[in-house]
Structure 1
Amino acid sequence: MFTSPLWAAAAQDAPAPIVVAAADDAVPSEGLDEIVVTATKRETNAQRTPISITVLGGDSLKQRRVLSLVDLSDGSVPSLRIAPFEARTNALTIGIRGIVPLDANQPAREQGVGIYIDGVYLGRQHGVNTSLFDVERVEVLKGPQGTLFGRNTEGGALSIVNRAPTGEFGGRVTGGIGNYGAYNGELHLDLPEFYNFSVKIDGVVQHQDATTKNPLAGQSGWNLSDRQGLRAAVRWQPFEGLTNDFAYDVAHTETTPFYSQLLNFNPNACPSGGTAAVPIRASLAPNCVLPGTAYTGLTGTIRPPLPGVIINSTSRQKVADIGVPQQPSVDNTHGFINTLKYKITPDLELRSITGWRGVTSSQWDNAGGAHRPPVVAPGCVGTACNFSRYSLANLKQNQFSQEFQAVGTLGPVDYVGGLYYFIENVSDDAATPNSMAISGYTTAGQTSGYSYVVLDPCVGSGGFGSQPGCRSIDRASEVRSRSYAVYGQGTWHATDELSVILGGRYTTDKKQGELLFSRNINYRTDPIRAAANGYKPLDETWNRFNPMATIGYQADEDIYVYAKYATGYRAGGASSRTSNYQAFDPEDVKSYEVGLKSEFFDRRARFNLTGYIMDRKDSQVDISSVQFTATGNFNNLVTINAPGNTKIRGIEADLTFRPIEGLTLNASYAYTYTNIPPVLITASAVSGTPPVTTSTSVYQQFYIVFTPRNAASGAIDYELPIGKGDTAVRFHLDAAYSQATQAFDQFETKNDASFLVNGRISVTQIKMGDGDQTLNVSLWGRNLFDKDVLFRRDPSNSLPAAPSSSVTTGSVSNVLGDYGNFNQQRTFGIEGTVRF
Structure 2
Amino acid sequence: MNSIKCSSTTNFLLRAAISSALFTSTATVYAQGNLLEEVVVTAQKRSERLIEVPISITTLSAETIEQSGVKELKELGDLTPNLMISQNSDFGTNIVIRGVGANSRNIGFDSRVGVYLDGVYLGQSPAANQGMIDLAQVEVLRGPQGTLFGKNTVAGAISLTSVKPGDEFEGSVGINVGNYNNLELQGSVNVPLTDSTSVKVYGNKTTRDGYIKNVFNGDDVNERDVVSGRVQLRTDFDSGLEMNISADYLEQDRMGFNGEPLTDTFGAFKPEEGAAKYELSQQTLLEDKELKGASLTFDYEMDNGYLLKSITARRDSEITYDADPDYDSAVFLGVLYTDAYEQTTQEFQIISPDGSAFKYVAGVYYYTQDSTTDRDAIPGTGTILYPPLGIEVPIAAFGINPTMKAVDIDGAVDTESYAVFANGTYDLTDRITLGLGFRYGEETKDVDWSIDGSNSGAFRIATTRVKDSRTDTSFDPTASINYALFEDSYVYARVSTGSKSGGYNLDFINVDQIEAGIEFDEETVTSYELGYKGEFPEQNLRLGVALFYSEFEDYQVNQYVDLGGGRTALSITNAAEVITKGLEVDVTYQPTVNLQLTAALGLLNAEFDSFPGGDAEGGDASGNKLPYAPDLTASLGAQYYYPLPSLSSSLLLRADYSYTDGYYITASNDEGHTLVDGSQVPFGEVDSYGTISARIGLVSDAETWEVSVWGRNLTDEDYQNYSFRDFFGTILGGYAMPRTYGIEAKYNF
Q: Same fold (TM over 0.5)?
A: yes
In structure 2, the partner of 1:396 is: 340
Distance 1:518 1:149, change over 3 A: farther
Judging by fraction of residues, say which structure has more helix: 2
**When the two structures are aligned, how many residues end up with a matched partner?**
692
The residue aligned with 1:122 is 122
Instruction: Give the C-alpha shift of residue 440 in structure 1.
Output: 11
Q: Residues 570-609 of structure 1: matches in 2 within 5 Å? A: 570-577=500-507, 578-579=509-510, 580=514, 582-602=518-538, 604-609=540-545
Change (3 A) 1:387 1:673: farther
Q: Kindly report which structure 2 residues correspond to 1:564-575, keeping only aligned pairs within 5 A, or say none.
A: 564-575=494-505
More strand by proportion, 1 or 2? 2
Shift in Å, 1:517: 1.9
Cα distance, 1:553 vs. partner?
1.0
* Counterparts in 2 of 1:440 and 1:835: CA distance versus 1, 3 Å: closer
What secondary structure is seen at the aligned counterpart in 1 of 2:100?
coil
1:761 maps onto 2:696 in alignment:
yes
Say whether the 8 Å CA contact 1:64–1:759 is kept in structure 2. Answer: yes
Contact 2:121 2:151 in 1 (8 A): no
Displacement after TM superposition at 1:241 (Å): 1.7
Question: Counterparts of 2:584 and 2:558 in 1: how far apart (Å)?
Answer: 28
Q: Deviations over 1:116-167 (max 9, x none)?
A: 1110112311122242331111110111112122454111100111000002
Alpha-carbon contact 2:559-2:570 (below 8 Å) kept: yes
In 2: Cα distance, 1:131 partner to 1:761 partner: 23
Relative distance call for 1:164 and 1:40 in structure 2 (3 A) is same
Spell out, residue by residue over 1:679-730, the C-alpha distance to the aligned partner (whole angstroms, 9 max, x if none).
33399xxxxxxxxxxxx97533454221111111110111111025851111
Q: Distance in 1 between matches of 2:198 and 2:536?
A: 41
- CA 1:752/1:258 → structure 2, altered by over 3 Å: closer, same or farther? farther
Give the partner amino acid of 1:359.
S
Provide the residue aligned with 1:207 in structure 2. Answer: 207
- Structure-2 separation of matches of 1:234 and 1:39: 24
Q: Is the 8 A contact 1:397 1:424 kept in 2?
A: yes
2:413 counterpart of 1:479: yes
Residue 497 of structure 1: aligned partner: 431
How big is each residue's C-alpha offset from its partner over 1:395-446, in whole Å with a ceiling of 9 and x where there is no partner?
A: 1110000000000138420111101100000001223445683599999999
Distance change >3 Å, CA 745–CA 514, structure 1 → 2: farther
Amino acid in structure 1 at the alignment position of 2:620 = Y
Bigger CA radius of gyration:
1
How do 1:145-544 residues align onto structure 2 when only pairs under 5 Å count?
A: 145-194=145-194, 196-217=196-217, 220-258=219-257, 260-263=259-262, 304-305=269-270, 308-309=272-273, 311-312=275-276, 316-317=277-278, 319-320=279-280, 322=281, 324-366=282-324, 369-370=327-328, 390-409=334-353, 411-433=356-378, 437-438=382-383, 464=402, 471-519=405-453, 536-544=466-474
Question: Which is worse superposed, 188-197 or 712-721?
Answer: 188-197
1:614 aligns with 2:547: no
* Alpha-carbon shift at residue 521 of structure 1 (Å): 7.8
2:575 paired residue among 642, 649, 673: 642
- The answer for the alignment partner of 2:76 in structure 1 is 72
Query: Would the alpha carbon gap of residues 704 and 329 (structure 1) be closer, same or farther in structure 2, given more than 3 Å must change?
Result: same
Residue 364 of structure 1 and its aligned partner are, at CA, apart by 1.9
**CA RMSD between the two structures:** 3.4
8 Å CA contact 2:263, 2:270 repeated in 1? no
**Structure 1 residues not aligned, in runs of 5+:** 1-12, 14-28, 267-300, 372-385, 456-460, 523-528, 684-695, 768-772, 798-813
Contact 2:406/2:455 (<8 A) preserved: no
User: What do the CA deviations read for 1:367-401 (whole angstroms, capped 9, x no partner)?
Assistant: 87239xxxxxxxxxxxxxx6765442101110000
User: 1:339–1:354: 8 Å Cα contact kept in structure 2?
Assistant: yes
**Contiguous gaps of at least 5 residues in structure 2:** 1-16, 18-32, 671-683
Letter in 2 for 1:513: V
Corresponding letter in the other structure for 2:450: L
1:697–1:609: structure 2 CA closer, same or farther, 3 Å change rule? closer
Cα deviation per residue 1:30-78 (whole Å; 9 max; x = unaligned)?
A: 71111111100111111111111011111111112111112224x3212
2:342 partner SS: strand
Distance in 2 (alpha carbons) for counterparts of 1:304 and 1:555? 62
Match of 1:10 in 2: none
Aligned pair partner of 1:674 in 579, 600, 606: 606
SS of the aligned residue for 1:110 comes to coil
Contact 1:429–1:473 under 8 Å retained in 2: no
In 1: Cα distance, 2:360 partner to 2:335 partner: 49
Give the Cα separation in 2 of the matches to 1:153 and 1:743.
22
SS at match of 1:59: helix
Q: Secondary structure at the match of 1:370?
A: coil
Deviation at 1:347, TM superposition (A): 2.3
Match of 1:735 among 639, 652, 657: 657
Is the contact made by 1:787 and 1:825 (CA closer than 8 Å) also made in structure 2? yes
CA gap 1:394/1:220 in 2 versus in 1, 3 angstroms:
farther
Identity of aligned residues (%): 27
Secondary structure of the 2:664 match is coil
Scaled by the length of structure 2, the TM-score of the pair is 0.85
Q: Matched residues in 2 for 1:192 and 1:793: separation?
A: 51
